[in-house]
Amino acid sequence: QVQLVESGGGSVQAGNSLRLSCAASGRTLSSYVMGWFRQAPGKEREFVAAIRWNSGGTSYPDSQKGRVIISRDNVKNTVFLEMTSLQPEDTAVYYCAAGRYLVQNSTMYNVWGQGTQVTVSS
């Protein structure tokens, strides 16, 4: 089973950047895609970005494109999420997840990390 551990969260001021990391261990060939989601209290879990492990193809929602970049290091089995121009509305727990398909629905991802808190202040 794939195990995912997020890191890199913290508190930043609006306008700054942050890079999150997701270390994957025990990854199998069936875990073709790594995704990032976020969830704030009382809010629906929201898709942020996803990447195909082998090809590096990416998917972003229109609301995030240009502000976030997802990348992966296949040697280190690590996926990164670089976020720029952070705003208070970006405050949430950020989760990485593994799945088979490059989709934006959280229900299509099978394995989830514990999450890392990102807090953006004005």
Q: How far apart are CA 81 and CA 70, in angstroms?
A: 5
Give me 2's structure tokens.
């794939």
Q: What is the mean pLDDT of the chain?
A: 93
Parallel, antiparallel or unpaired: strands 3-7 and 58-59: unpaired
What confidence tens digit (pLDDT) does each residue in 9-32 have? 999 999 999 999 999 987 665 678
What confidence tens digit (pLDDT) does each residue in 56-80 have? 999 999 887 789 999 999 889 999 9
